[in-house]
Structure 1
Amino acid sequence: MSLNNLDTLYRQVIMDHYKNPRNRGIEETGDGVTVDMNNPTCGDRIRLQLKVEEGVVTDARFEGEGCSISMSSASMMTQAVKGKTIEDALKMSSLFSDMMLGKEIDTDLEMGDIEALQGVSKFPARIKCATLAWKAMEKGVKRQ
């Protein structure tokens, strides 16, 4: 696949998660931990709700407002960490941060749609948009 076709595919994946977010909507049960974070430089904000049982993320949900990068990243992240141990979720977050810094990542963890965001590394002003949900997840699992 040519580089241009790959960029187009990645844009389509990002827009699909933006227009059809997965795991959007916070449950009012009060179970788990809720983390609120924002990016004051661009106005993105997220509320992330995590449920962790016996060291495994059993549910991840979000609500918020922001650009297509931040909201699609939140959608992708919630999908990716469900069913993962806290250790694997934190490892994924570290790998994602490396990817945002333009580093090559090599992992045995399935990153799924997250790889579509690798082009963000070319736009330093957008990296905080992409990492907002991940930073919220790190904060949340560390509270467990």
Structure 2
Amino acid sequence: MEQTKELYQETILEHGQNPRNFGSIKKATYSTEVFNPLCGDRCRVYLKTDGDNIRQVSFEGQGCLISIASASLMTEMLGGRTLKEASEIFRYFQGMVKSGNLRKKIELGKLAAFSGIAKFPQRVRCALLPWEAMRPFTKTTKYI
């Protein structure tokens, strides 16, 4: 029971049930979709950029609470940042999700709620799915 509580922290529950920035962006600069064939989760990410600056980010999709919450928090974290900053955040988020260790080099804010996911290896892919959709925009190495 304690593990289940840790997995579905309040932040993850809130964003999974009431996702932010859900929907498409008209005249998006970039859009891509990723699919997890193991569970059926699907996520399409939209970006509107001005040069290297992310002006707006949103997502559409269907999936488990963890993948939806991750996409929601990702959109909140990346709006207003540069593509380079987004790439750095991706690397730290991936490391945290896989290891459970929070690094202080980058402040992950509410994304830290996903640090407990490392105890559930089968759910790591769920948390990283929306980030994998962002990878082509940031030219970051593959996450999953």
TM-score range, shorter chain: 0.7 to 0.9
Which whole-Å CA distance do the structure 2 matches of 1:9 and 1:126 have between them? 9
Structure having greater relative contact order (Cα 8 Å, sep ≥ 6): 1
CA-based RMSD:
2.0
Give the direction of change, closer, same or farther, for the CA distance of 1:125–1:9 in structure 2 (3 Å limit). closer
How high is the sequence identity, in percent, across the aligned residues?
Answer: 37
Q: Which runs of 4+ in 1 moved over 6 A?
A: none
Gaps of 5+ in 2: 140-144
Alignment of 1:4-15 (within 5 A): 11-15=9-13
Aligned residue identity for 1:61: S
Give the Å deviation of 1:96: 0.7
Q: TM-score, normalised by structure 2?
A: 0.87
Number of paired residues? 137
Which whole-Å CA distance do the structure 2 matches of 1:103 and 1:15 have between them? 19
Match status 1:38 vs 2:35: yes
Q: Spell out, residue by residue over 1:77-96, the C-alpha distance to the aligned partner (whole angstroms, 9 max, x if none).
A: 01101111111100000001
Which whole-Å CA distance do the structure 2 matches of 1:46 and 1:53 have between them? 23
Give the direction of change, closer, same or farther, for the CA distance of 1:15–1:124 in structure 2 (3 Å limit). same
2:27–2:48 CA contact under 8 A, matched in 1: no
Counterpart secondary structure, 1:31: coil
Give the Å deviation of 1:140: 2.7
Per the alignment, residue 131 of structure 1 pairs with 128
1:47–1:64 CA contact under 8 A, matched in 2: yes
Q: TM-score, normalised by structure 1?
A: 0.87
Per the alignment, residue 89 of structure 1 pairs with 86
Aligned residue identity for 1:54: G
Gaps of 5+ in 1: none
